Chain A
Amino acid sequence: MDRCFLELRIDGEEAYQTFQRVIENVNVIMATYEDPQLGDVQVYPDKGTVAFSAGLHGWAFTLTNFAKMYASRFKVDESKMMERLWGENFFDTATRKWTTKNTGSATCKRGFVQFCYEPIKQIINICMNDQKDKLWAMLGKLKITMKSHEKELMGKALMKRVMQTWLPASDALLEMMIFHLPSPSKAQKYRVDNLYEGPLDDVYANAIRNCDPEGPLMLYVSKMIPASDKGRFFAFGRVFSGKVSTGLKVRIMGPNYVPGEKGDFVKSVQRTVIWMGKKQETVEDVPCGNTVAMVGLDQSISKTATLTNEKEVDAHPIRAMKFSVSPVVRVAVQCKVASDLPKLVEGLKRLAKSDPMVVCYMDESGEHIVSGAGELHLEICLKDLQEDFMGGAEIIKSDPVVPFRETVLERSCRTVMSKSPNKHNRLYMEARPLEEGLSEAIDEGRIGPSDDPKVRSKTLADEFGWDKDLAKKIWCFGPETTGPNMLVDMCKGVQYLNEIKDDVVTGFQVASEEGALADENMRGICFELCDVVLHADAIHRGGGQIIATARRVLYASQLTAKPRLVEPVYLVEIQAPEQALGGIYNALNQRRGHVFEEMQRPGTPLYNIKAYLPVIESFGFSSTLRAATSGQAFPQCVFDHWDMMPSDPLVPGSQAAGYVANIRKRKGLKEQMTPLSEYEDRL
């Protein structure tokens, strides 16, 4: 709003039209998220669900502020006044009449303009011109008193102060929260469906639904907040049912906890705290419907967790939060002094806790990897790591590294065969790419190992054109039993096949995690087991013979099916004025990026550009872009999808081959790829 008055100096009607358009845009977006359970999510200024604000200057109002003010003057009730302050309602100061159409007379103005926009504009103008006498008179009318030292202020500072006193942003925001956000008891009735992972009719779901203070404790910890004493964290979250009290023993379930398995902890809450702004208040207990910060749980929670009572072993966890970004850039960190390793380990633990996005883990070669959403994010994380979590111990970081995936372009050119070490068993296999969209469906969990086979085969048949019988013969997904690769049994009438299934599956899990090209995960490959020849004696077709053979034949089929690398791609959004567009296009083209949408923002000279940019090319992109556009463009990158690289990694000198060589070197593998002949055997 401040720009309307100070920079753009647009008149009331124009401002109204702009606001109207913004609100319409918001409503269009909101419409896509519409959920019958949630009810109407559209916003209407005349219902008080829109606040007009100047965030920079710290003031805001909703139409209720003004409606209250004028209701008494016009002797109408507040809701009536609210309606008149928005939409097609006009007021003529000469006739003092409301109309629904602009009568055309000079004194006839829209309600919003007449009663909200103009007064604010007036006050701001007076302040900016330092017409203090006039100002005090107006403020008197509005029953606003300023403190004496504030009266000394001049110009912009004065305006800011006056506006903050008159229309404080906090009041507007709080008012909206109080009147328009549903209370927990109301909200949890419909939220439970999305919140709870377990069956929606069990005692825990019901307790959440009813926000039952007497029910079992269900609490979701959403953030770990660093405490004042170094290295400790508050666990901050919301109590959905029951109550949490100081000294209570709680069961902590991590984000991927499956009821009945290990992976849960029992800890006691040392202190329950209510967090109010900057202050904390220690309280005895916190019942459902509130947020709470707890002390003493940080050593068992890495990022988020569900808490329940110690004995409630049947409770399922509350669904983990989803992020719209994913960690696709990583660096290896090591400490400069070898003896600092324990510090590094401790620091990484804390880093993983403090940031909901960052992932700290260790890779095959024993290096500690920190993985984040982008270059900048990682930089901040590493700064935190070194300064806050490791007490300033020096660390060395590697260049940022991007994970790749391995896939295939087409079906294997022939059925490949590998023999077991004792030569008595043979596996025949072919690889082919998964249908388009299937990998994504597996990523999203629409198709997965835990589906009902009937439902799965129906989905596969309907959406991806699979043969119904084939869909029933999926042996497993991988890597990690859930990944976007499949092993399908196409054999007919093979004896003892069920005996080696587990071994082949084990081999598949290993192979799909470490592909033949560069030991990267596979993605979007369907392996078809065509035929199997087994030794008649069980001892000669045990795991020792089959697992390694399965792995070899999987690699062989991958290599014969035109293997390709898949790289992560950012969606880049850039906002820039027209004259910067040339520079943006140049910078993107240099880095294999391409623009797929260019749109002028209505009412502004700015353009919105959306482009795809390979993550590996994005390092240093923002500075290149700044240089190319003399600082007028700033990119926002979000991981969007995986994209196959067209060049063939098996052809020496191609770009993909270069990447493969780099990855292999980094991982300490032989730089030359293992040739097909190592994996494939001949009769």
Chain B
Amino acid sequence: MTQPKVSVSLISSSSSRGRTAPRGEPVSHQPPAMDLELNFEISRTAEFILSRNFTRVALQFPDDLLKHSTKVVTCLRNKLGSGNKVGLFVMADTTFGSCCVDEVGASHIGADCVIHYGHTCLSPTSTLPAFCVFGKASINISCCVEKLSSYFRTNGKPIVVLYGLGYAHAISQIKRALEEAMPKTKMELIFSDVMCSIINPLEDHRNSDGLEGCLGTYSSENSLGSGTRYSLGGLTWDLPEGQRMEDYLLLWIGPENSAFSNAVLTFNGCEIVRYDATEDQLVTDVSQQKRILKRRYYLVERAKDANMVGILVGTLGVADYLHMIHQMKELIMLAGKKAYTLVMGRPNPSKLANFPECDVFIYVSCAQTALLDSKEFLAPVITPFEAMLAFSSGSQWTGTYVLEFRDLINSSQLEVSKRPEEARFSFLKGGYVEDFEPQENGDEDNDSTLALANATEKALQLRDRDPGSLVKRTVKSGAEFFVTRSYHGLETHANTSSPEPYLIGRSGKASGYEDERSEPELRSN
């Protein structure tokens, strides 16, 4: 059999750290062909590509699956048939989280669809259709059912079962086994369904029927049609009318990852148990996740005291991200604060430390990469939902938590709410603080002239008695911040009007210029 020519190119969106595809994998690591076929759902993928007549297909691998990429491409090429002129491209090392579909990367090669492998957040894309292959994590179904049923007997609550997408393949079996293991009469058991493994851009894919039957949506017998529908990270489930999530016990099958903490934060009022398939044990202690919630609450309080806000673009793919960024800008402006938008790929502490003037950052990204918190960050990084809490006056933390920013767009009320009577009480400063007056647009002229007069009145006051003083003061904008810095950049000498003589600069690389080569210290680094 002659191998068709496979065009494999590696797209790396991060130029500095390009990864080379591990082409020469040792044979011993290679999973058997059957496994590969099953794990990566080659035939379904091929069917998807063929049915929609895609010609340029980008295959997006997370770092841990990258080693299988060549084999997957080979298999897929085989499946697609030799006569087919489908171009397959491997993408890796995405700019943002690997759970999102990297549309920008795909458009570099002009792809018309993306096949996403591995863990995904199933966030909708804005331009390209995507097909998600979750992979199949191994799970011992009998052990799992045994553990679960013994736990359920001690706990009388009705149960909602959620799971990591890698376990989606085993859910129908678990469900059947669980129902057999337990008397049907007592237990109310709701299994969530995978919405769909196909993401169609800008479409309400709740209605899209996708490739039902291939992976299958596991229809729940309990769904009575008239209940409330919940969805989270690609899973949907229905609750009967009159029931709230708080009444249910939440069972999570899967590892402790961002999808899980997402679920814990969103349903923080529920009792939650996690079944770890690799360790084969039930974990009932989710205090670490609850602690996160408290910590987020603190970050919201911090954000309330902020004057300058940096909006970090954390995705270029998730639908409506631009809309969200605009909405955030508007919100910040209405709160009388200053906003800066920053695009920097995946943020890390030293990148953010280059913007010391920002008191808080809002990270607009998909739900599962949204939580960034570390002591290393100088300023808190919050989610759009938290920003809404912090910057719209009068809103209060009630315990509900939304990570998906798309849910916010619908629910937000951006009208200028009347400023509340009471001054804001800052729990960080332990007293009342004055917020900036929201910038009034189009008010009476009379008023605004007076406002200007007031502003100048304050501005004309003696600002700094002693330039060497070390007192920190609040600043309202980046420009003001730089004025208060002790170093203002190069000195400008206003007296000399004649141009400076030109000098020949250095040449070479930043890590060691040519004239620095002799320094032994630099070399030792």
| Whole-angstrom distance between the Cβ of A682 and the nearest chain B Cβ | 11
Contact A548 B350 (CB under 8 A): yes
> Which of A363-371, A403-411, A583-591 lies at the interface?
A363-371
- With a cutoff of 8 Å between Cβ atoms, the chain A residues found around residue B398 in the complex are 339, 341-342
| Whole-angstrom distance between the Cβ of B293 and the nearest chain A Cβ | 8
Asked if A498 lies at the interface with its beta carbon under 8 angstroms from chain B, I say: yes
> In whole angstroms, what is the CA distance A502 to B488 when docked?
11
Residue of B396, B431, B485 ringed by the most chain A CB atoms within 10 A: B431
Asked if A477 lies at the interface with its beta carbon under 8 angstroms from chain B, I say: yes
Interface members, chain A 490-543 (any B CB < 8 Å): 498-499, 501-503, 505-506, 509-510, 514, 533, 535-537, 539-540, 542-543
Asked if B502 lies at the interface with its beta carbon under 8 angstroms from chain A, I say: no
- With a cutoff of 8 Å between Cβ atoms, the chain A residues found around residue B214 in the complex are none
| Whole-angstrom distance between the Cβ of B509 and the nearest chain A Cβ | 10
Interface members, chain B 491-524 (any A CB < 8 Å): 506, 510-511, 513, 516, 521-522, 524
CB-contact partner of B471 in A362, A367, A449, A452, under 8 A: A449
Do A536 and B516 contact each other (CB < 8 Å), given the known contacts A503-B356, A506-B356, A668-B291?
Answer: yes
Smallest CB-CB separation from A540: which chain B residue? B510
| Whole-angstrom distance between the Cβ of A631 and the nearest chain B Cβ | 38
- With a cutoff of 8 Å between Cβ atoms, the chain A residues found around residue B350 in the complex are 421, 544-545, 548
A-B contacts besides A341-B399, A544-B350, A668-B291, 9 pairs, CB < 8 Å = A260-B458, A261-B474, A348-B427, A365-B294, A366-B298, A424-B511, A543-B356, A547-B356, A548-B376
> In whole angstroms, what is the CA distance A261 to B433 when docked?
11
CB-contact partner of B354 in A262, A505, A542, under 8 A: A542
> In whole angstroms, what is the CA distance A301 to B350 when docked?
39
7 contacts between A and B (CB under 8 A): A255-B431, A263-B434, A341-B398, A365-B295, A476-B470, A537-B510, A668-B295
Asked if A356 lies at the interface with its beta carbon under 8 angstroms from chain B, I say: no
Asked if A49 lies at the interface with its beta carbon under 8 angstroms from chain B, I say: no
Interface members, chain A 318-368 (any B CB < 8 Å): 338-339, 341-342, 345, 348-349, 352, 359-368
CB-contact partner of A548 in B349, B422, B471, B486, under 8 A: B349
Contact B294 A367 (CB under 8 A): yes
Asked if B525 lies at the interface with its beta carbon under 8 angstroms from chain A, I say: yes
Asked if B466 lies at the interface with its beta carbon under 8 angstroms from chain A, I say: yes
Contact B298 A265 (CB under 8 A): no
- With a cutoff of 8 Å between Cβ atoms, the chain B residues found around residue A367 in the complex are 294
Contact B434 A498 (CB under 8 A): no
Interface size on A, residues (CB 8 A): 72
Contact B525 A265 (CB under 8 A): no
| Whole-angstrom distance between the Cβ of A314 and the nearest chain B Cβ | 8
> In whole angstroms, what is the CA distance A386 to B378 when docked?
36
Interface members, chain B 269-327 (any A CB < 8 Å): 269, 291, 293-299, 301
Interface members, chain A 254-293 (any B CB < 8 Å): 254-255, 258-265
Asked if B463 lies at the interface with its beta carbon under 8 angstroms from chain A, I say: yes
Contact B431 A362 (CB under 8 A): no
Contact with A along B358-396 (1 / 0, CB 8 A): 000000000000000001101000000000000000001
Contact with B along A23-36 (1 / 0, CB 8 A): 00000000000000
CB-contact partner of A362 in B298, B434, B463, under 8 A: B298
Contact A533 B356 (CB under 8 A): no
| Whole-angstrom distance between the Cβ of A474 and the nearest chain B Cβ | 8
Smallest CB-CB separation from A264: which chain B residue? B434
Do A261 and B422 contact each other (CB < 8 Å), given the known contacts A339-B399, A362-B298?
Answer: no
Do A302 and B470 contact each other (CB < 8 Å), given the known contacts A265-B432, A498-B486, A501-B486?
Answer: no
Residues of A within 8 A of B (CB): 254-255, 258-265, 299-303, 313-314, 338-339, 341-342, 345, 348-349, 352, 359-368, 419, 421, 423-424, 449-450, 452-453, 474-477, 481, 498-499, 501-503, 505-506, 509-510, 514, 533, 535-537, 539-540, 542-545, 547-548, 668, 683
- With a cutoff of 8 Å between Cβ atoms, the chain A residues found around residue B354 in the complex are 542-544
- With a cutoff of 8 Å between Cβ atoms, the chain A residues found around residue B397 in the complex are 341-342
- With a cutoff of 8 Å between Cβ atoms, the chain B residues found around residue A503 in the complex are 356
- With a cutoff of 8 Å between Cβ atoms, the chain A residues found around residue B431 in the complex are 254-255, 302-303, 352
Interface members, chain B 331-356 (any A CB < 8 Å): 349-356
Contact B353 A547 (CB under 8 A): yes
Contact B399 A477 (CB under 8 A): no
Residue of B375, B458, B525 ringed by the most chain A CB atoms within 10 A: B525
> In whole angstroms, what is the CA distance A368 to B298 when docked?
9
| Whole-angstrom distance between the Cβ of A481 and the nearest chain B Cβ | 5
- With a cutoff of 8 Å between Cβ atoms, the chain B residues found around residue A506 in the complex are 356, 378
Do A313 and B294 contact each other (CB < 8 Å), given the known contacts A421-B350, A502-B487?
Answer: no
- With a cutoff of 8 Å between Cβ atoms, the chain B residues found around residue A545 in the complex are 350, 353
- With a cutoff of 8 Å between Cβ atoms, the chain A residues found around residue B17 in the complex are none
Residue of B268, B293, B427, B458 ringed by the most chain A CB atoms within 10 A: B427
| Whole-angstrom distance between the Cβ of B201 and the nearest chain A Cβ | 35
| Whole-angstrom distance between the Cβ of B250 and the nearest chain A Cβ | 16
- With a cutoff of 8 Å between Cβ atoms, the chain A residues found around residue B399 in the complex are 338-339, 341
CB-contact partner of A502 in B425, B436, B457, B485, under 8 A: B485
Do A536 and B506 contact each other (CB < 8 Å), given the known contacts A263-B434, A361-B428, A365-B294?
Answer: yes
> In whole angstroms, what is the CA distance A514 to B458 when docked?
35
Contact B457 A313 (CB under 8 A): yes
> In whole angstroms, what is the CA distance A313 to B458 when docked?
8
Asked if B211 lies at the interface with its beta carbon under 8 angstroms from chain A, I say: no
Asked if B469 lies at the interface with its beta carbon under 8 angstroms from chain A, I say: yes
Contact A254 B349 (CB under 8 A): no
- With a cutoff of 8 Å between Cβ atoms, the chain B residues found around residue A359 in the complex are 430
Asked if B206 lies at the interface with its beta carbon under 8 angstroms from chain A, I say: no
Asked if B461 lies at the interface with its beta carbon under 8 angstroms from chain A, I say: yes
> In whole angstroms, what is the CA distance A360 to B430 when docked?
6
Do A299 and B461 contact each other (CB < 8 Å), given the known contacts A449-B469, A452-B466, A544-B351?
Answer: no
Contact A502 B486 (CB under 8 A): yes
Asked if B83 lies at the interface with its beta carbon under 8 angstroms from chain A, I say: no
- With a cutoff of 8 Å between Cβ atoms, the chain A residues found around residue B356 in the complex are 502-503, 506, 543, 547
Asked if B416 lies at the interface with its beta carbon under 8 angstroms from chain A, I say: no
Contact A423 B295 (CB under 8 A): no
- With a cutoff of 8 Å between Cβ atoms, the chain A residues found around residue B428 in the complex are 361-362
Contact A450 B525 (CB under 8 A): no
Asked if B418 lies at the interface with its beta carbon under 8 angstroms from chain A, I say: no
Do A361 and B430 contact each other (CB < 8 Å), given the known contacts A424-B525, A536-B516?
Answer: yes
> In whole angstroms, what is the CA distance A300 to B426 when docked?
11
Contact B521 A533 (CB under 8 A): yes
- With a cutoff of 8 Å between Cβ atoms, the chain B residues found around residue A258 in the complex are 473
- With a cutoff of 8 Å between Cβ atoms, the chain A residues found around residue B506 in the complex are 536
Contact A352 B487 (CB under 8 A): no
> In whole angstroms, what is the CA distance A299 to B432 when docked?
8
| Whole-angstrom distance between the Cβ of B473 and the nearest chain A Cβ | 7
Smallest CB-CB separation from A474: which chain B residue? B470
- With a cutoff of 8 Å between Cβ atoms, the chain A residues found around residue B462 in the complex are 260
> In whole angstroms, what is the CA distance A281 to B431 when docked?
30
Contact A475 B470 (CB under 8 A): yes
> In whole angstroms, what is the CA distance A537 to B351 when docked?
17
Contact B295 A362 (CB under 8 A): no
Contact A261 B421 (CB under 8 A): no
Smallest CB-CB separation from B291: which chain A residue? A668
Asked if B244 lies at the interface with its beta carbon under 8 angstroms from chain A, I say: no
Asked if B32 lies at the interface with its beta carbon under 8 angstroms from chain A, I say: no
> In whole angstroms, what is the CA distance A360 to B109 when docked?
57
- With a cutoff of 8 Å between Cβ atoms, the chain A residues found around residue B422 in the complex are 299-300
> In whole angstroms, what is the CA distance A438 to B294 when docked?
38
Smallest CB-CB separation from B468: which chain A residue? A453
Contact A362 B269 (CB under 8 A): no
| Whole-angstrom distance between the Cβ of B397 and the nearest chain A Cβ | 6
Contact B487 A481 (CB under 8 A): no
Contact B297 A366 (CB under 8 A): yes
Contact B525 A423 (CB under 8 A): yes
CB-contact partner of A342 in B353, B396, B436, under 8 A: B396
Contact A301 B297 (CB under 8 A): no
Contact A262 B474 (CB under 8 A): yes
